[in-house]
């Protein structure tokens, strides 16, 4: 039992460190008046209410960040991607 805890502890610490870094980035984006991951997901779900979000990743656009949200529409097996402007929150074509 003690052996498994010894191996598990580093993994738990690494996971919590990654989550803390993600939270810091989100707080920084909020302070700068930019769209957060949670806000981007909500904007996409407003446009596609029956969809299920599979991932949401911040990428570098030409001048600023763009959230790329991958989703699955209800009743479909295919995934689709929707881009959200990281500053204004507008859904991009």
The yes-or-no verdict on residue 10 having pLDDT over 90 is: no
**Are 46 and 81 contained in the same domain?**
yes
Q: How many CB atoms lie within 10 A of CB 19?
A: 10
19 and 39 assigned to the same domain: no
Domain count within the chain: 2
Residue 21's pLDDT is what?
Answer: 58
Tell me the per-residue pLDDT of 40-83, one tens digit each, with 9 for 90 and over.
999 999 999 999 999 999 998 888 899 999 999 999 999 999 99
CB 25 within 8 A of CB 31: no
DSSP 17-75: HHHHHHHHHHHHHHHTTPPPHHHHHHHHHHHSTT-EEEEEEEEE-SSSEEEEEEEE-TT
22 and 46 assigned to the same domain = no
Do residues 28 and 86 lie in contact, with contact meaning Cβ atoms separated by under 8 Å? Answer: no
- Regarding whether 70 and 27 lie in a shared domain, the answer is no
pTM: 0.68
Say if residue 27 is in the same domain as residue 56.
Answer: no
Domain that holds residue 1: 1-33
Same domain as 15, residue 52: no
Tokens of 52: 């299920």
Yes or no: say if 40 and 89 are a contact pair by the CB < 8 Å rule: yes
CATH number for position 66: 3.10.450.40
């Amino acid at each position: 039992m003690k052996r498994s805890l010894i191996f598990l502890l580093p993994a738990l610490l690494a996971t919590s460190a990654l989550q803390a870094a993600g939270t810091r980035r989100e707080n920084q984006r909020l302070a700068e008046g930019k769209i957060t991951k949670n806000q981007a997901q909500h904007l996409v779900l407003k446009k596609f209410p029956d969809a299920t979000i599979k991932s949401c990743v911040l990428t570098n656009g030409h001048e600023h960040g763009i959230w790329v949200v991958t989703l699955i529409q209800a009743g479909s097996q295919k995934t689709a991607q929707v881009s959200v402007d990281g500053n204004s929150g507008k859904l991009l074509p």
